[in-house]
Structure 1
Amino acid sequence: MMNYKGGVGKTTLSANIAADIADRGNKVLLIDLDPQANLTLSFVSIEDWKNLDRQERTIKHWYDQYLDYEHNTSLRELAITPSRVNAKIKQNGNGGRLDMICSHLELVEVDMELSSKLGGHTDRAIRKNYFNVLSRLRFKLDEIKGEYDVVLIDCPPNFNLITQNAIVASDCYIVPAKTDYLSTLGINTLLKHVDTLTKKYNQHLNVKQHRDIPPISPQILGIVFTMVSYHGGVPISAQREYISQIERSGLPYFNNSLRENKTLFASAPEAGIPVVMNHGNTQQEQIRRETQALVDEVLAAIKE
């Protein structure tokens, strides 16, 4: 889940998609790579998060191991099962579960430190270091992804090394976008950067020691329009224009979107249960149905 632009509803979208997929009886792993840690705090209380920090069980501490000792423990040791959302999932009796690997506010410093690992005195050393840094998450995720039906990674709003780690580790990606000029402006650039990264990374697989490693091919599943305001059952005219621009561009997008509702979405993190899992008044039921319809589209796109 990524976009260069922050404030596009990426965290809200990640939380609701992951929770609904788990609620349908799937094992889901959420990985929060955004230093703002908003996704983490959508499921985990601040006190529990502080405890995880003291126990060194965040993704920041996992990268610290590599920076300090050139190795990482299993991601399995970082995964937690947030109690409030999983109690709700358990009520359905479908056997689903949502696990999470939490972020840390100092992850932004890790991103800068990782760049220091890219150098080398020879071309061979530079190639080796590039491959090792970019492959950290991929190889460790390969060890545990058989335990999950879906792994969803929430990326920071940039294209730094942490985001590149996520792309290398992913089969596909979703781009959340508000229907405004700034949010849609950089989407083509983002796709070009993903393509460039893919080609550069795969070139490193041509050397003898890496020939048994399959190439990566992350595909865009689609753009999800977020914070959409409706009038008369359709998006307001200003937003329709940006939706039309995406349609004309030929980029893939999802027919269902995330409706604007600051009241419902803003209060959900404190409860630790995303909006899509709660029944309520007519407005809340409408958002729940629309989000579930979006998840239907996402799952169908993944299967393709």
Structure 2
Amino acid sequence: MTRVVSVFNQKGGVGKTTTNINLSTYISILGYKVLVVDADPQGNTTSGFGIQKDKLENTLYDGMVNEVILEDIILKTGYDNLDIVPSDPSLAGAEVEINALSQKELRLKNLFEPILGRYDYIFIDCPPSLGMISINALAASDSVLIPIQCEYYALEGVSQLMNTVNLVKRSLNNDLEIEGIVLTMFDARTNLSLQVVDEVCRYFREKVYKTIIPRNVRLAEAPSHGQTIEEYDDKSKGALSYFNLAKEFIEKGNRVSE
């Protein structure tokens, strides 16, 4: 059965897209069939896989607004087990246009319906906002993966995020749960990073992954080359961290389903 996971935090710059690209890459390398859905109008996940946004025939916008089937939108990536639903800036218009359509909160869920079972995991890169696209993503998901950066104000906005998750849980998706918390941009040299880790662990307890993603130059450089960290520098600290996170993610998921 396909597990649908929204990678979500309404704060920008927390490593959401980096996590979405690299976690899904390593999970596919571990032998699982993965679909990445770029639900952010900036389309950074799309370009992060080396796909040119101006050359796309169909995008997530066409699926959500014009009811183009996913079969006609899904593209191959450079990885055998990893496909992508690409996005471009036209998706920003969907925020407004969806409001006039029937079942406006369930457009994405309905779009996924025909392909469920074909993939082990679907990861949705949500926009950094609490708008209609994010609500669609949460309504279509089994769980939410929340990246939190190890910086000042890290937990600011988290209560608002949790309120949104709970609202969707109550009104649209009773089964929605927190998959886990990924700590990103960790700098071992600063007391602040250590304090944030303590604070987040106190707040979310066992939901926090043991693998922490470091602040890493190679991770930051990879997207500008249209490459995952595995392609760009698979020996870097960033690459090893995401590979470890993928293994921990799968292990944790297997424990829960036993």
TM-score by shorter chain over 0.5: yes
How high is the TM-score relative to the length of structure 1? 0.76
Map Cα deviations across residues 10-59 of structure 1 (whole Å, 9 max, x no partner): 1111110011011112211000000111111001343xx3221xx2x101
1:238 to 169, 187, 192: 192
1:167 and 1:300 map into 2 onto residues whose CA distance is 23
1:276 aligns to what? 230
Alignment of structure 1 residues 210-229 onto 2, 5 Å: 216-229=174-187
- C-alpha contact 1:276 1:291 (8 A) present in aligned 2: no
Map Cα deviations across residues 71-111 of structure 1 (whole Å, 9 max, x no partner): x23212100002xx32xxxxxxxxx4110011111212210
Tell me how large the CA RMSD over aligned residues is. 1.8
- C-alpha contact 1:40 1:103 (8 A) present in aligned 2: yes
Structure 2 unaligned regions, length at least 5: 1-6
- C-alpha contact 2:144 2:179 (8 A) present in aligned 1: yes
Aligned residue pairs: how many? 248
2:96 and 2:83 map into 1 onto residues whose CA distance is 28
Moved over 6 A (4+): none
1:176 and 1:81 map into 2 onto residues whose CA distance is 26
How high is the TM-score relative to the length of structure 2? 0.89
Q: Which structure dedicates a bigger proportion of its chain to helix? A: 1
1:173 aligns to what? 144
Structure number with bigger Rg: 1
Indicate how the Cα distance of structure 1 residues 280 and 51 shifts in structure 2: closer, same or farther if over 3 A, else same.
closer
1:280 and 1:99 map into 2 onto residues whose CA distance is 20
Give the letter for the 1:227 counterpart. Answer: M
Question: Alignment identity in percent?
Answer: 27
SS in 2 for 1:108: helix
2:61 aligns to what? 60
Map Cα deviations across residues 136-172 of structure 1 (whole Å, 9 max, x no partner): 1112212102111111000001111111111111111
Q: Does 1:253 align with 2:208?
A: yes
Alignment of structure 1 residues 1-304 onto 2, 5 Å: 1-46=7-52, 49-52=53-56, 55=57, 57-65=58-66, 72-82=67-77, 85-86=78-79, 96-117=80-101, 129=102, 132-201=103-172, 216-231=174-189, 236-251=190-205, 252-262=207-217, 264-277=218-231, 284=236, 286-303=237-254, 304=256
Structure 1 unaligned regions, length at least 5: 66-71, 87-95, 118-128, 203-215
1:108 and 1:280 map into 2 onto residues whose CA distance is 34
2:233 and 2:176 map into 1 onto residues whose CA distance is 35
Map Cα deviations across residues 171-225 of structure 1 (whole Å, 9 max, x no partner): 11100111123332111221121111221125xxxxxxxxxxxxx4111111111
- The Cα shift of 1:270 comes to 4.1
- C-alpha contact 2:50 2:227 (8 A) present in aligned 1: no
Give the letter for the 1:33 counterpart. Answer: A
- The Cα shift of 1:279 comes to 5.2
- The Cα shift of 1:288 comes to 2.5
2:170 and 2:50 map into 1 onto residues whose CA distance is 37
- The Cα shift of 1:287 comes to 2.9
2:50 and 2:240 map into 1 onto residues whose CA distance is 25
